[in-house]
């Protein structure tokens, strides 16, 4: 059967677009969540058009073969990991920006376009695409849509779903669905577009997206403040938001993470730093006043040092610490990246609870995140190959998610569920909500062939 399917796919896509080489398949088995299990795929297919994607799904449906859609595989939850005997459907060749309209302020793109490429292209037209996940130089818009990705700018501009106006989606049957619209307003029917955004390839394969754009932001300035405690840093962040300021970026780094960054590269951070807060305003001539107000609030809440940028280069330097988090933690061991989000009023309780979990399970947890919207990324670090430490890390990882839920939050703010967090989904949705999700999945994919085992177990 597998030979017949591969032969059919090659007749449609061409020999070069259907790969069965074992080494290539091995290199495409998983995303960045390498800790999650990954199966052995049957083949990797690389369609270039919606019509080709449709033919792939028709063939897969007829042969009863599961399909796992992949973009750049930068995800952190195992959503792009292979399952045994599946087709890996790569959108890498569907990488064209089809249109940028300055009049409508929209872009029409294929899913394989890299986030940063779109951002730079629209900037040349005086426009702005705000969603900016940390992986924006590598991650594709299809993957961003699949996980409803966020990023540093979320605190002011929102997440991916806030910018997706419409989609072209190929269903498991091979039928092509158009959702949403190009107009700024429109409320006819159910909002199927938002249903598909964040569905992690379990409902269909996105082959085109119409994205809303914004006018190019004005020049930005940045402030960075160090505190002796986590509580002071969180209190300062809350006060910035409560003051009516709307920073374009508001980021938090706890003391252990700040020290890891300092060890990795000298950023001038003091040894006794308890937390670091980084804020930015992109309001041009008003940015300096905004940054001064933010600095004053930080000082009033116990900041021991506040640096205010006077130009773009100084702003870039102040932001560098936040961008170094991943690189600074990587040498410390294997990392399980949590992604909990809680109401801002619960952030202190979350950070205190994470410290208690770290002590309880005798495992280090480093925390940075988007404090402006309550989305923290605790990194549970353990020694690779140490089975006892691995077991404690997994328990600590789950305890962090349970803490987030207990504080009225969510198990994922932007990374998605994949396989990494699927066992905790019912805890958040409840049994009625989980059953409704299963019914929706069945309506789109009655044979359960699209990314099986992901999101819903």
pLDDT in tens, 298-353: 999 999 999 999 888 988 888 888 889 989 999 999 989 999 999 999 999 999 99
Q: Which fold has domain 97-215?
A: 3.30.465
Say what the pTM is.
0.94
8 Å CB contact between 366 and 307: no
* 218: its two tokens: 């004005």
For residue 68 the two structure tokens come to: 């796992």
Characterize the bridge pairing of strands 106-109 and 97-101.
antiparallel
The pLDDT of residue 383: 93
- 341, 392, 330, 387: which is closest to 363 by C-alpha? 392
For residues 428 and 408, what is the distance between their CA atoms, to the nearest angstrom?
A: 10
| Each residue's pLDDT tens digit, 391-429 | 999 999 999 999 999 999 999 999 999 999 999 999 999
pLDDT reading at 451 higher than 70: yes
| Residue 108 and residue 209 in contact, taking contact as beta carbons nearer than 8 Å | yes
Cα distances (angstroms) measured from residue 197 to each of 99, 120, 159, 421, 426: 21, 23, 11, 18, 20
Choices 3.30.70.3270, 2.20.25.10, 3.30.450.80, 3.30.43.10: CATH for 2-90: 3.30.43.10
Mean pLDDT score across all residues of the chain: 95
User: Please, what is the end-to-end C-alpha distance for the chain in angstroms?
Assistant: 27
pLDDT class of 1 with cuts at 50, 70, 90: low
pLDDT at site 18: 97
Collapsing DSSP to helix, strand or coil, 11 comes out as helix
Question: DSSP E strands: which ranges in 51-175?
Answer: 67-70, 87-90, 97-101, 106-109, 127-128, 164-170
Rounded CA-CA distance 451/456 in Å is 10
Give the mean model confidence (pLDDT) for residues 6-28.
Answer: 96
Mean pLDDT of 146-164: 94
Confidence of residue 152 (pLDDT cuts 50, 70, 90): confident
Fold of 221-326: Alpha-Beta Plaits (3.30.70)
* d(C-alpha 313, C-alpha 94), whole Å: 35
Query: Where do the DSSP E strands lie in 103-220?
Result: 106-109, 127-128, 164-170, 176-180, 205-212, 214-215
CA 415 centroid distance within chain: 4
pLDDT digits (tens, 9 = 90+) for 190-240: 999 999 999 999 999 999 999 999 999 999 999 999 999 999 999 999 999
pLDDT at 323: 86
Q: Which helix (H) or strand (E) holds 253?
A: strand 249-254
Q: Give the mean model confidence (pLDDT) for residues 145-158.
A: 93
User: What is the mean predicted confidence (pLDDT) over 31-48?
Assistant: 93
Confidence of residue 33 (pLDDT cuts 50, 70, 90): confident
Nearest to 1 by CA among 43, 38, 30, 40: 43
Least confident of 74-88, 147-161, 314-328: 314-328
| CATH fold label, 333-423 | Alpha-Beta Plaits (3.30.70)
Report the pLDDT value the prediction gives residue 197, as an integer from 0 to 100.
Answer: 98
Name 55's Cβ contacts closer than 8 Å, sequence gap at least 6: 9, 12, 13, 47, 174
Q: How far apart are CA 351 and CA 344, in angstroms?
A: 11
Tokens of 216: 């190019």
Q: Tens of pLDDT along 344-384?
A: 999 999 999 999 999 999 999 999 999 999 999 999 999 98
Helix axes 230-242, 287-300, angle to 10 degrees: 140
- Residue showing tokens 């449906």: 61
> Do the domains 333-423 and 221-326 match in fold?
yes
Q: What angle do CA 134, 389, 29 make, to 5 degrees?
A: 50
| Structural domain boundaries in the chain | 2-90, 97-215, 221-326, 333-423
- 320 touches 344 (CB < 8 A): no
């Amino acid at each position: 059967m597998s030979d017949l399917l591969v032969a059919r796919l090659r007749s449609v896509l061409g020999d070069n677009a259907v790969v069965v080489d074992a080494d290539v398949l091995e290199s495409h088995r998983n995303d960045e969540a390498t800790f999650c299990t990954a199966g052995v795929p049957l083949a990797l297919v690389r369609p270039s058009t919606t019509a080709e994607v449709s033919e792939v799904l028709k063939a897969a449906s007829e042969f009863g073969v599961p399909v796992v859609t992949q973009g750049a595989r930068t995800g952190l939850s195992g959503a792009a990991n292979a399952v045994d005997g599946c087709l890996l459907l790569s959108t890498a060749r569907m990488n064209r920006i089809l249109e940028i309209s300055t009049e409508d302020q929209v872009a029409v793109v294929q899913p394989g376009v890299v986030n940063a490429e779109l951002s730079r292209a629209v900037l040349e037209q005086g426009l702005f695409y705000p969603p900016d996940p940390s992986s924006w130089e590598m991650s594709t818009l299809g993957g961003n849509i699949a996980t409803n990705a966020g990023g540093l700018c979320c605190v002011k501009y929102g997440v991916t779903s806030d910018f997706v106006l419409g989609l072209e989606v190929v269903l498991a049957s091979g039928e092509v669905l158009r959702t949403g619209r190009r107009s700024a307003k429109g409320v006819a029917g159910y909002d199927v577009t938002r249903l598909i955004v964040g569905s992690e390839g379990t409902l269909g394969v996105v082959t085109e997206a119409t994205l809303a754009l914004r006018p190019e932001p004005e020049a930005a300035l940045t402030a960075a403040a160090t505190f002796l405690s986590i509580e002071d840093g969180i209190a300062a962040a809350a006060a910035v938001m409560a003051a009516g300021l709307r920073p374009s970026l508001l980021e938090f780094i706890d003391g252990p993470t700040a020290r890891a960054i300092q060890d990795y590269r000298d950023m001038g951070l003091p040894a006794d730093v308890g937390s670091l807060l980084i804020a930015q305003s992109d309001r041009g001539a008003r940015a300096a006043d905004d940054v001064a107000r933010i600095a004053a609030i930080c000082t009033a809440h116990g900041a021991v040092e506040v640096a205010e940028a006077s130009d773009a280069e100084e702003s870039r330097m102040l932001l560098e610490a936040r961008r170094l988090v991943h690189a600074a933690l990587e040498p410390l061991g294997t990392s399980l990246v949590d992604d909990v989000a809680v109401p801002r009023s619960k952030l202190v309780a979350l950070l205190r609870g994470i410290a208690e979990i770290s002590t309880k399970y005798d495992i280090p947890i480093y925390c940075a995140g988007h404090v402006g919207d309550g989305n923290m990324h605790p990194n549970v670090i353990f020694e690779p190959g140490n089975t006892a430490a691995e077991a404690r890390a997994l328990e600590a990882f789950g305890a962090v998610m349970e803490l987030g839920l207990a504080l009225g939050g969510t198990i994922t703010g932007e990374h998605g569920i994949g396989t990494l967090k699927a066992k905790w989904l019912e805890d958040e949705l409840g049994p009625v909500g989980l059953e409704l999700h299963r019914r929706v999945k069945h309506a789109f994919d009655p044979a359960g062939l699209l990314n099986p085992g992901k999101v819903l177990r």
